[in-house]
């Protein structure tokens, strides 16, 4: 059974939940989409019952702290696992060249040389270009430039083995250049910083983010089947699922998911 596991659903400075981190899996092998902003990725993998040995493919969308810093921890811990002989196979990292270069510099600064020697041997970087497709865990997986206004950013579309499709747009609003990857998909993962009524508090439009209403209108326009909202503020986390879902349903006729950390959505 294919599923999306939410490991981090909050925006960059969330403290009441983890920052952006998801996996697409069959319950055994997990394709990780962003790593969140720190070693909370290890905590949440453990709480979700996912071992490092179940993660051999990691995608990083862009170079911001809340998406990348967890990758340093993944590389450190998987590197240790390779050294000890307990991590089988290779780790594949997918990101654009500039991000790969920056991550390597951070690792050179922070990780021991013996772990760095695994790069290129057991830890393989795949540098992305617009429209590049890989077979990841038996699923056609296409990476695309999201036309981010802040920094070069990639999204990903996965064609699931059950025939459905899921598209992750990173942490900026949908741009029409991405229509080929987002229109009509079964699951659209779109950021939503806050409710429409909170626009004056969080100013999503000034920082290239969306309200729930914006994301829902986009999903309706793209005629997707289901909308998954994430990368949200965290001030009223207990109410988020209810309030965000209610607002989204005013503008979008399909299914709406507002996952909490550790929620699993059967795809
Ligand atoms: Zn972010």
Domains detected in the chain = 3-266 (3.60.15.10)
As a whole number, mean pLDDT of residues 210-235 equals 98
Q: How many CB atoms within 10 Å of residue 145?
A: 18
pLDDT in tens, 140-179: 999 999 999 999 999 999 999 999 999 999 999 999 999 9
Centre of ligand 1 to C-alpha 53, Å, is: 26
Q: Is 255 helix (H, G, I), strand (E, B) or coil?
A: strand
Contact predicate 216/251, CB 8 Å: yes
Centre of ligand 1 to C-alpha 67, Å, is: 6
Q: What is the DSSP letter of 260?
A: P
Q: What is the DSSP letter of 236?
A: T
pLDDT in tens, 224-266: 999 999 999 999 999 999 999 999 999 999 999 999 999 999 9
Centre of ligand 1 to C-alpha 15, Å, is: 14
Centre of ligand 1 to C-alpha 263, Å, is: 19
Q: Are strands 154-159 and 139-145 parallel, antiparallel or unpaired?
A: antiparallel
Give which of 229, 205, 222, 220 is closest to 251, Cα–Cα: 220
Centre of ligand 1 to C-alpha 88, Å, is: 31
Residue 27, pLDDT score: 86
The whole-angstrom separation of Cα 66 and Cα 230 is 13
Centre of ligand 1 to C-alpha 133, Å, is: 24
Q: Are strands 55-59 and 91-95 parallel, antiparallel or unpaired?
A: parallel
Give which of 44, 36, 118, 105 is closest to 75, Cα–Cα: 118
Centre of ligand 1 to C-alpha 22, Å, is: 13
pLDDT in tens, 26-74: 989 999 999 999 999 999 999 999 999 999 999 999 999 999 999 999 9
pLDDT in tens, 69-111: 999 999 999 999 999 999 999 999 999 999 999 999 999 999 9
189: left (phi over 0), alpha (psi -120 to 50) or beta: beta
Give which of 61, 70, 75, 84 is closest to 104, Cα–Cα: 75
């Amino acid at each position: 059974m294919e599923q999306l596991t939410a490991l981090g659903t909050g925006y960059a400075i969330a403290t009441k939940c983890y920052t952006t981190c998801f996996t697409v899996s069959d319950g055994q092998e997990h394709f990780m989409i962003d790593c969140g902003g720190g070693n909370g990725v290890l905590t949440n993998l453990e709480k979700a019952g996912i071992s490092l040995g179940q993660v051999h493919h990691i995608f990083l969308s862009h170079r911001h702290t809340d998406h990348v810093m967890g990758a340093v921890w993944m590389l450190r811990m998987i590197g240790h696992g390779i050294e000890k002989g307990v991590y089988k196979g290779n780790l594949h990292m997918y990101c654009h060249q500039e991000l790969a270069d920056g991550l390597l510099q951070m690792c050179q600064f922070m990780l021991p040389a013996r772990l760095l020697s695994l790069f290129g041997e057991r830890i393989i970087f795949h540098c992305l270009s617009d429209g590049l497709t890989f077979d990841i865990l038996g699923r056609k997986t296409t990476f695309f430039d999201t036309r981010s206004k802040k920094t070069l950013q990639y999204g990903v579309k996965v064609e699931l083995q059950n025939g459905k499709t899921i598209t992750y747009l990173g942490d900026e609003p949908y741009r029409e250049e991405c229509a080929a990857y987002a229109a009509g998909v079964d699951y659209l993962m779109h950021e939503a910083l806050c409710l429409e009524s909170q626009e004056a508090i969080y100013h999503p439009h000034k920082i290239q983010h969306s309200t729930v209403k914006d994301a829902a209108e986009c999903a309706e326009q793209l005629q997707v089947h289901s909308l998954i909202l994430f990368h949200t503020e965290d001030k009223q986390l207990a109410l988020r699922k209810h309030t965000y879902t209610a607002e989204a349903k005013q503008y979008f006729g399909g299914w709406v998911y507002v996952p909490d950390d550790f929620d699993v959505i059967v795809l």
